[in-house]
Amino acid sequence: MSLWKFGNFEKEIDFTDADFLDVLDAAKANMAEELKKVPKVGKNSDIIRAQVQCYRTFFDTLFGAGAGEAIFEGKTSLEVCLRAASSLVAFEDNESQRIDSQYSKYYVKNHGNREQRRRYNKGRKQG
């Protein structure tokens, strides 16, 4: 479990927790559905407000009610939303690499049956 920070918002996140991953998947699916409802034409301010609301809903679903408001600090700026989402994606990538390196010693390195292993090893020989 690690601490994700964005502005004044902090939250402990565990990417090895199956329940959290279920909520993350649900938040992503919900956001995809909400983005379909964003108007394509109209006033730019209305389009941006609809997009910002999608991000607020995503973070509220992920971290609980009011999280989106806390993360964006009351702003209705698409730029802040994009930076928050990018920060979360980068955090997830870093955590995935950390977890993979931590558990890599437990992976079984089997390259298939005997014939497949021979072919694999033959390709790896130098000289």
Whether the pLDDT of residue 97 is over 60: the answer is yes
d(CA 19, CA 7): 26
Look at residue 67 in the predicted model and tell me its pLDDT.
95
Average pLDDT over residues 16-25: 94
pTM beyond 0.75, yes or no: yes
Q: Which tokens sit at 50? A: 């609809």
d(CA 126, CA 82): 47
Average pLDDT over residues 82-99: 93
Residue 74's contacts (CB-CB under 8 Å, 6 or more residues apart) are none
CA atoms within 13 A on the CB side of 48: 11
**Residue with the larger pLDDT of the pair 113 and 71:** 71
Look at residue 126 in the predicted model and tell me its pLDDT.
58
Look at residue 125 in the predicted model and tell me its pLDDT.
65
pLDDT bucket at 78, cuts 50 / 70 / 90: very high
Look at residue 57 in the predicted model and tell me its pLDDT.
95
The structural domains of the chain, with segments of one domain joined by +, span 2-81
